[in-house]
Amino acid sequence: MKLFCTQENLQRILSYLERVTGRQTSLPILSNVLFETEKGQLKISATNLEIGVISCIGGKIEKEGRVAVPAKLLANFIYNIPQGEVLEIESDEKNTLHISTPSYQMKMKGLDGKDFPIIPQYKESYPLSFSAQQFKNSITKLLSCVSTNTSRIELTGVHILFFENNFYVAATDSFRLAEEKIPFSLLQETYKETLLKNDSCIIPANTLQEILRVITPETEQVFMVVQEGQLFFEIDGVQVISRIINGKYPDYKQIIPKNFSFSGVLLKNDFQRALKIASTFSSYNANEITLSFFPQEKHCVITSQSQEIGENKTTIPIEVSQGATPLTMTFNVKYILDGVNTIEGETIVFSANTPQTPIALQGWNTEKKEKKEEAVYIVMPIRK
């Protein structure tokens, strides 16, 4: 193999691939990336057998070939070469890879490309696409809710449900839940039936993190297809393939209350500030804080206390749009704060029924005087 390419291109691709390489020692080749020439391009792939990433960069190919080289070593070299250099990449029969510029030379021992796992590829045209920025925005918010407890494997991913022209992504760690709505466009009418039959799946959180890394601020569209047991994405020419988590996601829709007997609008900044203060006092007390709403007085009182260090109380104004009786609830402040942080805009609607049932946090459209329905964050209060 012999070719020329630029340092920027290679660095960009390596930054997507490096995290995907496997760390398991049973199959050492997984810690490598595969270089191969294909159709006048350099194709680089990496996999840990759960996620696979394939991407191509342009360059001048002089001789075809393939070789697998250690990802960490390669990345450390490439990252430190000044930008703008043109790299000459060459491999020999002993699977040694030479990379050289006029001033930098490197030689590293690789493995035979034939032993590298074959990453499944989707070669047809993708049936659906959606906005990359909206997806990135929504998924970033959801990832904090994904469970890390591997004893319930289905909660370690993000659930995706197709419904009409939107899909709903949701994540929960069984204490709180976040859901977002993202519109998509169907590029193939025939795929509609497939979606009707198979309308949901669970995507591993790791896969989504990789996808977010690939999406740059310039990225416009993400293409996607769900197949038996696996998922394919294409973002700016980079293909990401992932397994699907095998399991039954809890039927979370029924957790989200349809109606609320109380709802009030708060200023996000005020609320955030009050919660942060409260969290400093609650850290000794299992993160417990108390929220009290007084519709008559039009204010909300946030308190937290601990016997060891002291207590605090913050009063902030609230615009009550529904409900007239005072309400007091206890929460884990971390869960509430996570939710508040993800809501866009300056105002937040807090909706509740009773002190024992789930509450919802949503954005508030001040002009139309209604809740923004694209996203909802549900938290369960602490039962006293």
- Complex with another protein: residue 116 or 347, whichever CB lies closer: 116
Q: Please state the closest distance from residue 364 (CB atom) to another protein, in A.
A: 23
Q: Please state the closest distance from residue 98 (CB atom) to another protein, in A.
A: 28
- Complex with another protein: residue 62 or 115, whichever CB lies closer: 115
Q: Please state the closest distance from residue 342 (CB atom) to another protein, in A.
A: 16
Residue 181 has phi, psi (to 5 degrees) of -110, 130
Q: Please state the closest distance from residue 244 (CB atom) to another protein, in A.
A: 8
- Complex with another protein: residue 19 or 273, whichever CB lies closer: 19
Residue 333 burial (C-beta neighbours within 10 Å; 0-12, 13-18, 19+): buried
- Complex with another protein: residue 19 or 268, whichever CB lies closer: 19
Give the list of residues 6+ apart from residue 151 with CB closer than 8 angstroms, or none. none
Q: How far apart are CA 285 and CA 310, in angstroms?
A: 11
Q: Please state the closest distance from residue 31 (CB atom) to another protein, in A.
A: 13
- Complex with another protein: residue 155 or 349, whichever CB lies closer: 155
- Complex with another protein: residue 80 or 198, whichever CB lies closer: 198
CA 77 to chain centre: 29
DSSP 5-47: EEHHHHHHHHHHHTTTS---SSSGGGGEEEEEEETTEEEEEEE
CA angle at 218 for the pair 82 and 61, rounded to the nearest 5°? 50
User: Tokens at residue 158, please?
Assistant: 């993000």
- Complex with another protein: residue 115 or 297, whichever CB lies closer: 115
Q: How far apart are CA 159 and CA 301, in angstroms?
A: 35
- Complex with another protein: residue 77 or 252, whichever CB lies closer: 252
Binding site for another protein (CB under 8 A): 26-27, 47, 49-50, 52, 117-120, 149-154, 172, 174-177, 228-230, 241, 243-244, 246-248, 250-252, 254-255, 284-286, 288, 306, 308, 332, 335, 356, 358, 378, 380-384
Q: Please state the closest distance from residue 288 (CB atom) to another protein, in A.
A: 8
Q: Please state the closest distance from residue 123 (CB atom) to another protein, in A.
A: 13
Q: How far apart are CA 327 and CA 35, in angstroms?
A: 62
H helix intervals, the chain: 7-17, 71-79, 132-143, 191-197, 205-214, 268-282, 333-342
Q: Please state the closest distance from residue 279 (CB atom) to another protein, in A.
A: 15
- The Cα-based distances of 275 to 1, 16, 212, 287, 289 in angstroms read 59, 36, 29, 11, 8
Give the list of residues 6+ apart from residue 210 with CB closer than 8 angstroms, or none. 16, 19, 20, 51, 53, 240
Q: Please state the closest distance from residue 214 (CB atom) to another protein, in A.
A: 19
Per-residue buried b or exposed e for 4-37, using 16+ beta carbons within 10 Å of the residue's own CB? ebbbebbebbbebbbebbbeeeeeebbbbbbbbb
The length of the chain, given as a count of residues:
384
Helix, strand, coil distribution of the chain in percent, nearest 5:
25, 45, 35
Q: What is the DSSP letter of 370?
A: E
- Complex with another protein: residue 120 or 323, whichever CB lies closer: 120
Question: Is-contact 49 30, C-beta < 8 A?
Answer: yes
Q: Please state the closest distance from residue 335 (CB atom) to another protein, in A.
A: 8
